[in-house]
A and B are shown apart, each in its own frame.
Chain A
Amino acid sequence: MSRRAEALLALLGVAALVFAAWAAPWLRFVLTVALAKGLAVLGILLLLRAGQVSFGHAMFLALGAYTVAFAAPGVPEALVLLPAAALLAGVAGLLIGLFVVRYRDIFFGMLNLALSMVFYSVLEKFYAVTKGTDGIRVPPLSVAGIEPARETQEWVMFGLALGLALFCAVGVRAYLASPMGQALAGIKTRETRLEFLGVPARRVMLFAYVLSAMMGGAGGALIAMTSRHVTPQLAYWTSSGELIFIGILGGAGSALGPFLGAIAFELVRVYAGAAVADAWQMILGGVLLAVILFAPGGLIGILSRQKRKQA
């Protein structure tokens, strides 16, 4: 997709989101969570560029969320907690990354999965500290020192998520266009060649891994600040699967894909749940099957093909 088309699409998307959030107050919450998940999926997209699928990325999402839950009683300031969560996730990403970027393909995916399940068990079993599966309540937060009313708070969180999403999307686009980003595609096609060029593949991967962990942490922090209740479920493999699902649904072709996918996913889930409360999983599965069968490039693939047709 051309640069202009992508910018136009982003602008249109922002306008549509703001309109929807204004028209239906309850959608504000759903869309904020969707944007937060989109942020985490954007991180997965980086790894996908290198041909690696992390089946345990919800670990960083949960880490960000639990950072907020644990730190909020002491520092109830959203603008401090958000970077803190991203930073902590980044540090964790660096430590875990040092180990997992040595592996590729199924080994990479499974190691991530294993580590995320370890983290899940820690959250669940250290009952005295984490309150187990019942989870931790996040107290109301202030933003820049002011504690807004509920309505304003929702708008602030929505704005924060939207701003961060745009910022990260632009950043990821620039990163992918840079030599470091191009090297990721090199890992996917043939890693040995990359080494011959004098580019250390592991370091390239590690950089992407840390970035993606930070985005996961920021997404998790946003989820915790919006839903104001965190449970170990966030780190469970099904939430990692959900992130991959969103990635496939949105398509890996553009930095907008994850957000498009996340919004479509949340809306489908909410409306399917509202329409048929006991068969919503089937509808969600049907949508994924339809995307895989008819639009392997995801939603973003449909849109860009459309664009090419017109051009």
Chain B
Amino acid sequence: MSQPTDVSRRAAVLGAAASGALLWAGDGARAQGPAQKPSELRVGITTFLSGPASVFGVPSRQAAELLVEQINRAGGIGGVPLRAFFVDEAPGADHLVGEYRRLVQNENVQVVFASISSGSCLACTPLSTELRKTTLLWDCGTQRVFEEGKHPYAFRTQGYGTPEILAPLLYLLKTKPDFRSIAVINQDYAWGRDSWELWKAGMDALKPGVRVVAEMFPRFGSTDFSTEITRLLALRPDVVLSTSWGGELVTLVRQAAERRLFERSTFVMPVAEASMQSLGRTMPAGHVIGARGDHWNNHPRPKDPAAMARFVDGYRQRFNEYPIYPCHHMAQAFSALQAAYAKAIQAKSGGWPNDGELADAFRGLTFDTPTSTITLREDGQGLEDQLVGLSSQGERFPFAVPRDMVIFPAAMVSTPVGQKSVDWLKSLKPDILAQMPAPIAG
């Protein structure tokens, strides 16, 4: 092949690519129409599709695809079929805010489901106000979002850090009231630090004088916890708290179980649920485990057992594994979306709502989940019950699920509107334990 043809071919390809890109870009110039019924309801979903947090992101994407199919088969929302646009959160917040703009301004999505990562949520929420686009914070847990500012277009369709930490703390105080020392081993990033701050504030208010023997924050993404385990074996704390998740939690539990740390200390693991299937029979019994909500597969009394079974079995059939909590959080977001559109369409007596009307419909909305109902408060925060119990191995599941379960009503463990979580936790009085519902054997 002679050189000139080579160059011209390359030039042709480049030219084609460049003009293609511009055409594609030009596509976005279409003006956003007024509130007339669209041919499809576009939903932008940001989730982790790569990196360590994809253990949450990929199952939630699968759940979203399943739900979109189910909803469309049943006629869509208000007769309009759904279409999901997925965005990978892994490249970081500065890339994600660009992707958020693309979803809103180019793909013309009606709603955005934003983020597993708290950092992503903090970056996207102010954009929802700027671009006036209803945004459902479908999985992130930081309490900062609604405590540090008002966001009229953002709603969190699930619980958040404070109740997810306070519920296991109360459970521990009730079931093991005489513990005297504690150690913490959390991932070294915002959630690991935040959750410990929340726990410490609550613990010091409800049971002053507990000795903190070690605060360990191994590097995010660690694969070896032998130093930490050795230290814990030597220190013999009554309780070990770990809010770690994903592969790291699996590794920590495996390594700690091998060295019999679980026989010496009671573990409290508020985010354990998503790792139980990977751990299988390795997970020791008798430790406090949580699920960032009330959606354990063995929920003792789901509000709608048929819906719960439909969701769990549908997911299992398709993907050959049990749904984990991010799948349920995705289902909650879709359920909220359906309920809000129904409410908004009814308020307009059949008309299609615009962005402002849609956001109004979310405020104070109550929607069903397979296990319960969730109400969105006036600040946008959802009230999701918390289900905590002691790990146990049984016949029904090939992995650990809780027994002696307590369903904490969301209002009891959530910071009241307008208060900061840490301040509120510091003001707690031990009589809150008396309000705790009785455990259910399960």
Any A CB within 8 A of the CB of B4:
yes
Let me know if A132 and B193 touch, CB within 8 A: yes
For A290-311 the 0/1 string (1 means CB < 8 A from B) is: 0000110000001001100100
Q: Given A33-B94, A150-B130, A302-B14, are A231 and B119 neighbors across the interface (CB < 8 Å)? A: yes
Residue from B58, B92, B101, B119 in contact with A26 in the complex, judged by beta carbons closer than 8 Å: B101
Q: Which of A80-88, A92-100, A200-208, A265-273 faces chain B?
A: A265-273
Q: With A and B bound together, what is the CA distance between A278 and B26 in angstroms?
A: 25
Q: Which of B17-25, B249-257, B371-379 faces chain A?
A: B17-25
Q: With A and B bound together, what is the CA distance between A29 and B220 in angstroms?
A: 31
Let me know if A133 and B189 touch, CB within 8 A: yes
Let me know if B101 and A134 touch, CB within 8 A: no
Contacts of B119 in A (CB 8 A): 133-135, 229, 231
Residue of chain A at shortest CB distance from B86: A277
Let me know if A127 and B190 touch, CB within 8 A: yes
Q: With A and B bound together, what is the CA distance between A295 and B14 in angstroms?
A: 12
Any B CB within 8 A of the CB of A189:
no
Q: Which of A1-57 contact B (CB under 8 A)?
A: 16, 19-20, 23-27, 29-30, 33
Q: Is the interface of A mostly helix, strand, loop or mixed?
A: helix
Contacts of A25 in B (CB 8 A): 28-29, 105
Any A CB within 8 A of the CB of B144:
yes
Contacts of B87 in A (CB 8 A): 273, 277
Residue of chain A at shortest CB distance from B129: A150
Any B CB within 8 A of the CB of A192:
no
Q: With A and B bound together, what is the CA distance between A131 and B122 in angstroms?
A: 11
Residue of chain B at shortest CB distance from A30: B98
Q: With A and B bound together, what is the CA distance between A24 and B27 in angstroms?
A: 7
Any A CB within 8 A of the CB of B177:
no
A-B contact pairs, 20 of them (CB 8 A): A19-B22, A20-B22, A23-B25, A25-B29, A26-B28, A26-B98, A26-B105, A33-B98, A134-B119, A134-B142, A135-B122, A150-B130, A229-B119, A231-B119, A234-B92, A270-B98, A270-B102, A274-B85, A277-B86, A277-B88
Contact surface of A with B, Cβ cutoff 8 Å:
16, 19-20, 23-27, 29-30, 33, 124-125, 127, 131-135, 137, 150, 223, 227-231, 233-234, 266-267, 269-271, 273-274, 277-278, 280-281, 294-295, 302, 305-306, 309
10 A-B pairs closest in CB distance: A26-B105, A229-B123, A24-B28, A134-B190, A24-B25, A278-B49, A132-B190, A233-B92, A227-B94, A133-B189
Contact surface of B with A, Cβ cutoff 8 Å:
4, 7, 10-11, 14, 21-22, 24-29, 49-50, 58, 85-88, 91-95, 97-99, 101-102, 104-107, 118-119, 122-123, 126, 130-131, 142, 144, 188-190, 193, 220
